[in-house]
Structure 1
């Protein structure tokens, strides 16, 4: 059966088929269900044999990865941002005589980066860390929709996000804001203080994009108590933070920095490069930042409507530990509210692809990498390509359009046709906690049919 041979289902029925199942009965999970929960909610999906391996203490499995994270070998050998930016500068200069120079080279680099990142999630020995990397990378979105930063987004994630997911929030925030990918994506590299020497000479002014998004999306949140005057002041504070085009690294340019006093969140600033350093530290310690980050963490790891008590607890821990993300994440894992609603979250397209390939296995070679990246494009979540600085949605409603769910089914059917040989319904017992409806559908099925029914089940679609 080809994808177009799928049974016709009314749009409303498609959506209802992906609503959370209610077969757990109580909030107290048995060992198998708890293991599945840990693998799917905190990790990237269950592979055959993993449930049995961690069933004795699923929470300990999660906590062990926080204490001893592993670096995926798939990410070794990829270029740092400076190397790529220097190459991009060489290409830019040479394009005067060869306009097509570098296009294919940069495209291949992006595909290699995107595929390596996805392979890492599929095969990682620390899938909990891979989920955290995705959470924080989405929080600090840099999107390939701005083509001039696309080739260095992989380096941005490896350099500014990955090393700090279990570090301190301020260190991650500082690394993100100073990284050329963010400076380029949100245009701060071109922002010049209008009263600075460079501004007076070039008659150029502030760009508020980075300042606004740091306040709205990265720290305080849209209701965090700031106004337009704060955005303008912060934009002035950030002037001079730019990119060295020849060296490909961050640099501070004093003659582009807006001189004079500025006032952000009721505090005075007047100190050159260190203005921005001080501002980021103040923002990272603000109560509004703690609550905003806690809410997003609770939404990602507990439920679309996060439990208020969990948000309160995480916000307190964030403030009490000066933004220690290891301490905050450990609390998140140990709080009962985080474990109280199994399968409350709909898998995003990336989650679905990774989970399906953790179950069925991956292939080697550049052709597989290309198809892997194309799969995410087809399903509506291309790697590092969120439509705005707000990132990808983290609620089910963002992924439940009938057309999007039909594309899931078609992709899963094609995968089942390729990988279903020898599969029996018994596989379901290793990777999902199948409810009565799923058990009935799988009864007597085998091969590609059994694999498709498993992948398309409500239980597999959720985490």
Structure 2
């Protein structure tokens, strides 16, 4: 097999996959592009083994129930402490001093009695996600899951119990289907509604709005238009945002305290819905049920601006910070011609010449780099607590973007974190150096990608640890 074929296989694994692992270059070098497309056609593409994980609603109920029990135990403990304090008080000053720590002590007792189930659920979701990334042969489908999960992001800082299940329920089943279905699943998921405060939005003239003198929350409508579909400066106005926000009133979730079987699930509450017809992007929507919102979402999914916005983001993520205009135009056309078929759009991207001629100058995000580093050493699993701690250190904490925009996809946002990457690489290499030969990594994992300068530096390294760090921090490994 020629060196150019090997180089294309390496590029395919770095640019579109989760990074090379032992044997993966040889497995696809005969036809790298065909291998990428074949992975998308697998029936299991995008799926994970998650039979043991709770649904998002069940996880939400578990955490809500635990907090309620903890609060009840704290109240009981405080009453008991207050009673003891009053019996033992000998002076007013002593009573005041005891009162200061009573609530803290009660809260501590309650926390010990009722552990928070949220973190174990989060770490188990992380374990399943990491295992999928490490176990896949190429990882193109998994990279698409990561892309769309970030495009339609929620934050574990606000809804930790649902963050992993949201990705499994709303993103994975539709990641190679139609954009319309993905859009409907993401925007109608309880995690998204909770994250963007849709649960507190109500029409000013709705039954609930009149009774509670509360009104509209525009967050969900605005982010759908600006981030998820049309994109900024695409022609929508503030009036469109308000009209769309009115359309979405009533989209909420079942309160977990009121319904132990269905709490945390999506529901449409007509008492919250703004009555009357609504206008969005010049079109009138008359249906006053949940279908009014779904109709707007379907129209947004078919809009030419959405096609361009999605194509640009995909090309920017996989190919270059400034993606080639012909590639974006080609992908946008496929989007419109196929009714938003995400598999066909992905195939069009990897079948385009620009996807292979653009130089590998795209800086990997921390998560891609870390997974690539683990795969390069041949490991098939990683400790989820250590992994998530490392991601936080690198500025990309799992399912915790700082805003609804998600994590950025440009070099300027990540280049200043190279010092922290060096710390992580050192730590990882120190733990693995006894069982991993740097020369094996060069020969079986990185292949023709490694420059002669890096090979020379590795050969002169004082230790295996230092040699591995040089490989992991090389431009060839950091970029795709």
Whole-angstrom CA distance in 2 between matches of 1:282 and 1:447: 57
Whole-angstrom CA distance in 1 between matches of 2:47 and 2:301: 29
Higher radius of gyration, 1 or 2: 2
Whole-angstrom CA distance in 1 between matches of 2:51 and 2:36: 24
Aligned to 1:375: 390
2:23 to 49, 56, 62: 49
Whole-angstrom CA distance in 2 between matches of 1:183 and 1:325: 24
Aligned to 1:241: 251
In the TM superposition, what are the counterparts of 1:128-277 in structure 2 within 5 Å? 128-146=140-158, 149-245=159-255, 246=259, 247=262, 248-272=264-288, 273-277=290-294
Aligned to 2:467: 450
2:64 to 89, 96, 105: 89
Q: TM-score, normalised by structure 1?
A: 0.89
Aligned to 2:372: 355
CA spacing shift, 1:69–1:439, aligned 2, 3 Å: farther
Asked whether the 8 Å contact 1:72–1:124 carries over to 2, the reply is no
Pairing 1:392–2:407 present: yes
Number of corresponding residues: 430
Asked whether the 8 Å contact 1:145–1:387 carries over to 2, the reply is no
Q: Tell me the alpha carbon deviations over residues 17-39 of structure 1, each in whole angstroms, 9 at most, x when there is no partner.
A: xxxxxxxxxxx981111001111
Aligned to 1:323: 340
How far off its partner does 1:189 sit?
1.3
Say which SS state the counterpart of residue 343 (structure 2) adopts: helix
Aligned to 2:441: 427
Q: Which runs of 5+ in 2 are unaligned?
A: 75-109
Asked whether the 8 Å contact 2:180–2:298 carries over to 1, the reply is yes
The higher-RCO structure (CA 8 Å, 6+ apart) is 1
How far off its partner does 1:87 sit?
1.8
How far off its partner does 1:225 sit?
0.7
How far off its partner does 1:94 sit?
2.5
Whole-angstrom CA distance in 1 between matches of 2:300 and 2:218: 17
149-158 or 101-110, which moves further after superposition?
Answer: 101-110
1:80 to 55, 61, 65: 55
How far off its partner does 1:377 sit?
1.2
Whole-angstrom CA distance in 2 between matches of 1:426 and 1:77: 36
Aligned to 1:65: 39
